[in-house]
């Protein structure tokens, strides 16, 4: 595997899960694989989990790691071609990318949707420039439209906690004060659609996701109805995708917050969220602190998803 940007790059999911559980029980079994190999992690946006879990996964594999925060200490980068660079950006991405490629063997990139231009975001302009110009294998650490390392960890977590072959998994929108990308919701949907789980998406009108991500999922606008009989509740905020409101907050209705009353409608569901989460906007204190909340084991599995991805890329070098 040379690139990891979406669910399809992983191939057969059952094989990937098997590899994940094997790695989880033997994290240090591949220390030779990464010897003298360098991972470069490039962040255009903030991160706690991705930064730490991916670095840990690389260390488990015997790799060296370099981390660059583009907006803290590096030159500000121009990303558009044809711009007369007389403003505040001293360097162009088209030089910076191949230079970064010179110093490492594998590149991870975090670059959120900018919400300036929907086409640029949905064509993954930044991520694809890294793929095109770095000369190195590239993986996404959350790009404009997807967060595949998160979704893979989510899948591993559901497989660990499910008590029936075909659980009912519900992705629910929840309120948030600032506009957030659709990436986590898109990606989670893409991965759930690649399983045989029963998958339902619930959100207020106006928050419809791109149809390519919704796929065959059932969309239910009544949140309480969606929660009935659910085995997993996956909460996430996202901003509007559909025009003319792309990238905007069009609703902060707190009646969509996940609380104990709503969780009582489920089949004693587990509560999931990718984190970071705003308490009492997305989810009540009670629910996130309950015994059914699996947000911490979910975050712990980020190390495992990253390690499978890095191992496969290392094997392809
Ligand atoms: C980001 C998002 O919603 O995409 C990252 C989540 C992993 N969240 C925030 O910016 C709060
Ligand atoms: N879930 C996740 O990707 O968290 P960070 O933004 O902290 O990396």
- Do the domains 149-298 and 3-146+302-316 match in fold? yes
Q: How confident is the model at residue 92 (pLDDT cuts 50, 70, 90)?
A: very high
Q: Which option is the CATH number for 3-146+302-316: 3.40.50.1370, 2.60.40.10, 2.70.98.10, 1.25.40.10? A: 3.40.50.1370
Residue 72: per-residue pLDDT: 87
256/249 Cα distance (integer angstroms): 14
- Supply the residue whose CA is at minimum distance from atom 6 of ligand 2: 47
The domains of the chain are located at 3-146+302-316, 149-298
SS3 for 93-142 is: HHHHHHHHHHCCCEEEEECCCCCCCHHHHHCCHHHHHHHHHCCCCEEECC
* % of the chain with per-residue pLDDT over 90: 98
Tell whether ligand 2 has an atom less than 6 A from the beta carbon of residue 275: yes
**What would the CATH number be for the domain defined by 149-298?**
3.40.50.1370
Query: Is 73 a residue whose pLDDT tops 90?
Result: no
Q: Give the residue, out of 302, 303, 305, 306, with the most ligand 2 atoms within 8 A of its beta carbon, to mutate for a pocket test.
A: 302
Bridge partners (DSSP) listed for residue 270: 232
pLDDT for 236-289, tens place per residue?
999 999 999 999 999 999 999 999 999 999 999 999 999 999 999 999 999 999
- The SS3 of residue 230 is coil
Q: Which atom of ligand 1 is nearest to the CA of 112?
A: 4
For the entire predicted model, the pTM comes to 0.97
């Amino acid at each position: 595997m040379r690139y990891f940007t979406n669910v399809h790059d992983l191939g057969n999911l059952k094989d990937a899960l098997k590899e994940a559980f094997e790695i989880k029980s033997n994290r240090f079994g591949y220390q030779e694989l990464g010897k003298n190999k360098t991972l470069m992690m490039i962040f255009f946006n903030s991160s706690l989990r991705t930064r730490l879990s991916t670095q840990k996964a690389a260390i488990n594999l015997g790799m060296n790691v370099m981390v660059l925060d583009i907006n803290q200490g590096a030159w500000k980068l121009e990303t558009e071609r044809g711009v007369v660079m007389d403003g505040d950006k001293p360097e162009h991405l088209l030089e910076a990318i191949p230079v970064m490629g010179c110093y490492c063997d594998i590149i991870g990139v975090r670059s959120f949707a900018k919400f300036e231009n929907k086409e640029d975001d949905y064509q993954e302009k930044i991520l694809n420039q890294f793929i095109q110009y770095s000369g190195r294998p590239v993986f996404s650490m959350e790009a404009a439209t997807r967060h595949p390392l998160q979704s893979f960890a989510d899948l591993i977590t559901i497989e660990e906690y499910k008590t029936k072959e075909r659980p009912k998994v519900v992705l629910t929108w929840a309120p948030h004060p600032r506009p957030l990308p659709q990436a986590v919701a898109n990606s989670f949907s893409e991965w759930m659609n690649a399983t045989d789980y029963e998958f339902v998406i619930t959100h207020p009108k106006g928050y419809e996701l791109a149809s390519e991500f919704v796929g065959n999922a059932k969309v239910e606008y009544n949140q309480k109805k969606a929660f009935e009989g659910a085995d997993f509740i996956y909460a996430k905020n996202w901003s509007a995708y559909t025009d003319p409101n792309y990238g905007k907050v069009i609703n902060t209705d707190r009646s969509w917050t996940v609380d104990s009353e709503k969780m009582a409608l489920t089949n004693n569901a587990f509560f999931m969220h990718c984190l970071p989460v705003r308490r009492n906007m997305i989810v009540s204190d009670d629910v996130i602190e309950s015994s059914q909340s699996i947000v911490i084991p979910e975050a712990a599995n980020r190390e495992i998803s990253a390690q499978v991805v890095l191992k496969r890329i290392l094997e392809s070098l």
